[in-house]
Amino acid sequence: INSPVLLFTNTRGESEFLASILREKTLMNIELHHGSLSKQVREETESILRSGSSGIVVCTSSLELGLDIGSVELVIHYGSPRQVSKLMQRIGRSKHFRNSSARGLIITNSPDDEFETKAILDRIKNSSIEEQKIHNESLDVLAHHLVGLSLQMGEISIDFAYKIIKQAYPFRNITLDEFCNVLEILDQIYILSFDKTKMKFWKKRNAFRYYFENLSTIPDILKFKVFDSVGKKIIGSLDQKFVGDKGKPGTIFVLRGMQWKILNIDEKSLQINVEPINGQKNRVPYWEGENIPVDYATAQKVGLFRNLVKHGSLLMHNKIISELDFNIIPDEKTIVIESIRTDRNVVIHACFGT
C-alpha cells in the first residue's frame, strides 16, 4: 500500500499505546491524531495525510468527520467499533475516488470484541443502524439562550422570546409554564430579572459571566498543557486526574506515541514541562469521557450469537463459550448474576447495552 493507512481506536489511551508500540516494533512512519494533542501536532499529521505519504496514522474519532485527509487506501479498526454508525463512518474514510468501494479491516482483541463486531457487521448487512435521538427540551441550553438574548437585546417580553424559542425544533413542544420556570430559576440565582406582572425579563450583573463560562454542554475538565522543553512547543494536554495521580518530576509517560519525562509542573499556568526520553517503560495517560456506548439492539445480537455458539450453530475464533464451566450463559434472554462469597462485589451480566 503506497498511501497512508488509518488505524482507528476507540480511546486516546489506546491510540497512544498502539502508536508507541508500533514505533518501537516497526520502521514504518507512525503518526498520531486525537483530541488531546495540540492543534499544531494535529495539523502536521493532517498535512502528512494529504501528501499521500505511506505509513500508519493511529487515530480516534478526531479523524471521523469534517477533515479533508486526501486518498486513503485502507482503514483498520482496532477492537470493536461499538456502534454501526461509527464503523460505517470510519471505514468510509477509505478509497474516496470514483468506482471504488470502501476497504476496511477489523482486528478484535478479546472474545467480547469479536462477538460485538460480528453483531455490528450483521446489522450493517441488514441495513440496521442506531436511532439518532434528538435531546428535546434541554432546559440548561434554554437558560443559556435566554441569557444570551438578554445580553444582546436588553429588556425582552416573554411573548417575543417564547415565540423565538419555539421555532427551534427541540423546543417545539415546550409549554409557557416550563419556559417561565426556567426564568424563575435564573431570577432566583441573580442571573436575570423576571417581572411576572409585566411579563418581561432582563439581564443582571452575573449574566455576562454565566453566559461566557458556560458556552458548551460538554463538562469542563481541567487540563494541563504539555510543553516540550527541547522542541519549544506545546505537544498536547493531560487531564487533571492523571496529573494528580501520576504527575511528579521524573515520571515518564507517553504522548504523541513518544516517551516524555516530567521536569516540573507549573500549577499556576497549568503547564507540564517535559523532555523526550527513550527506552523506558510506557505509562499511558488516561482521559475523561472516553467510553463509547453500545445500543440495545447490538447487545441483544451479541446475546443471540452467544446462544448460537453454545448450541453449535455458529463458529467463532474465540472459545470463551465452550470453555465456560457452567451451563447458563448471559444471552439475549438470560441475565446471569455472579458473586463470590469472600468478595462483596456482585457482577450482573446482561445484554442490554449501555
Q: Are residues 189 and 300 in the same domain?
A: no
Gap between the Cα atoms of 12 and 107, Å rounded: 17
Q: How many domains does the chain have?
A: 4
Q: Is residue 288 part of a domain?
A: no
At residue 7, the 3 state secondary structure works out as strand
How far from the centroid of its chain's Cα atoms is residue 280's Cα?
A: 29
Q: Is residue 252 part of a domain?
A: yes
Per-residue confidence (pLDDT) for residue 116, from 0 to 100: 97
What sections of the chain are H helices per DSSP?
A: 12-25, 39-51, 84-91, 111-125, 139-153, 158-166, 176-188, 207-213, 240-246, 296-310, 320-323
pLDDT value of residue 36: 94
What domain range includes position 177? 139-213
Q: Is 116 in the same domain as 192?
A: no
pLDDT of residue 72: 83
- Residue 135 CA to residue 126 CA, distance in Å, equals 27
pLDDT of the chain, 354 residues: tens digit per residue? 678 899 999 999 999 999 999 998 888 999 999 999 999 999 999 998 888 888 999 999 998 876 777 678 899 999 999 999 999 999 988 876 677 788 899 999 899 999 999 999 999 999 999 998 899 999 999 999 999 999 999 999 999 999 999 999 999 999 999 999 999 999 999 999 999 999 999 999 999 999 999 888 877 788 999 999 999 999 999 999 999 999 899 999 999 999 999 999 999 999 999 999 987 777 899 998 778 999 999 999 999 999 999 999 999 999 999 888 778 999 999 999 988 878 888 999 999 998
DSSP letters spanning 174-199: --HHHHHHHHHHHHHTTSEEEETTTT
pLDDT at 301: 97
- Regarding whether 116 and 9 lie in a shared domain, the answer is yes
Kindly state whether residues 252 and 321 are assigned to the same domain: no
Closest CA to 102 of 61, 58, 72, 132: 72
Q: Is residue 234 part of a domain?
A: yes
Q: What is the CATH number of the domain that holds 172?
A: 1.10.10.10
- CATH number of the domain at 12, please: 3.40.50.300
Position 286 in a domain: no
The answer to whether residues 162 and 265 belong to one domain is: no
In a domain, 204, yes or no: yes
82, 102, 125 - which closes a domain: 125
Nearest C-alpha neighbor of 108 from the set 302, 330, 349: 302
Q: Are residues 260 and 190 part of one domain?
A: no
CA dihedral 301, 304, 305, 307 (to 10 degrees): 160
C-alpha cell at 102: 470502501
Query: Are 208 and 228 in the same domain?
Result: no
Whether 291 is in a domain gets the answer: no
CA distance 131 to 148: 32
Distance from chain centroid for Cα 210:
26
Query: Which of 100, 125, 150 delimits the end of a domain?
Result: 125
Do both 308 and 330 map to the same domain?
Answer: yes
Examine residue 37 and state whether it is found in any structural domain, yes or no: yes
Is the residue at 283 inside a domain? no
* Same domain, residue pair 31 and 121: yes
Specify whether 11 is located in the same domain as 36: yes
Give the residue from 7, 2, 47, 55 showing the smallest Cα distance to 27.
55
Q: Do 62 and 158 belong together in one domain?
A: no
Domain boundary among 91, 125, 159: 125
Residues 19 and 115 in one domain: yes
